[in-house]
């Protein structure tokens, strides 16, 4: 009887274990069973927020669950990123991260509450935000090469605007300064828009800014575009050459935006999210919208995204260290 009882108990335990595995597998297959949150570590209304809402709306339709955008600005994006880094890795809290938050901040700030390279899993890149070098119409140059010659003839006399210390326009200009070997004066503003306005007004002579921030002013003649800071021309400004084409070979300073999940998120969820985002990026409406906004869509795998992030972590470390930049 004891032997029979032990056999019965063992069989029951095995059955319960099997049932547990079935429930776990079923729960994974059912994902997503509730709304998903996109954490945007910047204020609402900016280019990152706009892109997150566009992708989030279409992703929600594809998954059959709503995607809620939660804006948590502060500390140059660190606050919102930290919330996601410490969240449960179950596919319901995701981060909209960019070059600044995921490849530059760790070089700017001595103490970070997380390591962007290990606290997150790259899921899907949305695209690159291409920068454009603009100058006030009165500046007597037509190419980035001519601008370098002008600056060298007037060392320290040319001012450039940025969206603030450590912002992408600031770091792009710093890369330009180092590669071109020129002396230019930094004038930080509180955002890209005030910087663009200052350059139009002649308060500053030049600025690197996102294509979307200046395309209207360029087309109206209020700003003069000299070069695109990416490896290829922008669809929004096809007539503007790249920096390599116009006098500064090897100069590339694109900034990407993409989707990240907390480390430990099940690979099946990561792959599903990636597949759906790739479909969205390849759809006609999204391609058209990106083409006019200065964003170049990048439908790539999580592994390829991880390689790009790793490369940029190394690249921007050198720029920040050489410039001696520190986060405020």
Quick: pLDDT tens for 67-95: 999 999 888 899 999 999 999 999 999 99
Same fold yes or no, 36-128+255-323 and 131-228 = yes
**pLDDT tens-digit map of 253-265:** 888 999 999 999 9
Task: Decide if pLDDT at 14 tops 50.
Answer: no
**pLDDT tens-digit map of 24-37:** 334 445 899 999 99
Candidates 3.40.50.880, 3.30.70.1350, 3.40.190.10, 3.40.50.740; CATH matching 131-228: 3.40.190.10
Cα 36 to Cα 59, 197, 300, distances in angstroms: 10, 37, 22
> What's the mean pLDDT when you consider all of the chain?
88
The residues spanned by each domain of the chain are: 36-128+255-323, 131-228
289's tokens: 């919208």
Cα 242 to Cα 15, 31, 132, 205, 229, distances in angstroms: 65, 43, 9, 20, 6
Rounded to an integer, what is the distance from CA 294 to the centroid of its chain? 13
**pLDDT tens-digit map of 204-253:** 999 999 887 888 899 999 999 999 998 888 888 899 999 999 999 999 88
Domain 36-128+255-323 sits in CATH at 3.40.190.150
Cα 303 to Cα 2, 96, 225, 300, distances in angstroms: 55, 17, 35, 8
Which residues, other chains included, contact 113 with Cβ-Cβ below 8 Å and sequence gap of 6+? 78, 82, 85
Closest CA to 259 of 109, 54, 115, 74: 54
Quick check: helix, strand or coil at residue 108?
helix
């Amino acid at each position: 009887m004891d032997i029979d009882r032990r056999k019965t108990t063992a069989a029951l335990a095995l059955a319960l274990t099997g049932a547990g595995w079935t429930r776990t597998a079923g729960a994974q297959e059912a994902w997503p069973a509730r709304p998903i949150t996109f954490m945007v570590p910047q204020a609402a209304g900016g280019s990152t927020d706009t892109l997150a809402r566009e992708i989030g709306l279409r992703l929600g339709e594809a998954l059959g669950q709503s995607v809620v955008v939660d804006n948590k600005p502060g500390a140059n994006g660190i606050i919102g990123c930290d919330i996601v880094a410490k969240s449960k890795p179950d596919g319901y809290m995701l981060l909209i991260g960019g070059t600044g938050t995921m490849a530059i901040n760790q070089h700017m700030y001595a103490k970070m509450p997380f390591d962007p390279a290990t606290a997150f899993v790259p899921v899907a890149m949305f695209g690159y935000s291409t920068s454009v070098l603009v100058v006030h119409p009165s500046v007597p140059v037509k190419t980035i090469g001519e601008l370098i010659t002008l600056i060298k003839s007037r060392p320290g006399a040319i001012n450039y605007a940025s969206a603030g210390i450590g912002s992408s326009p600031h770091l792009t200009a710093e890369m330009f300064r180092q590669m071109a070997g020129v002396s230019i004066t930094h004038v930080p503003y509180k955002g890209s828009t005030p910087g663009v306005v200052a350059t139009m007004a002649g308060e500053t002579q030049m600025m690197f800014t996102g294509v979307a921030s200046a395309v209207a002013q360029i087309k109206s003649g209020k700003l003069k575009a000299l070069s695109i800071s990416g490896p290829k021309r922008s669809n929004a400004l096809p007539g503007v050459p790249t920096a390599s084409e116009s006098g500064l070979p090897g100069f590339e300073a694109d900034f990407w935006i993409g989707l990240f999940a907390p480390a430990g998120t099940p690979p099946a969820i990561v792959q599903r999210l990636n597949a759906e985002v790739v479909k969205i990026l390849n759809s006609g409406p999204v391609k058209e919208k990106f083409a006019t906004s200065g964003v170049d869509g990048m439908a790539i795998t999580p592994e390829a995204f991880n390689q790009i992030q790793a490369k940029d972590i190394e690249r921007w470390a050198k720029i920040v260290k050489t410039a001696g930049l520190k986060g405020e």
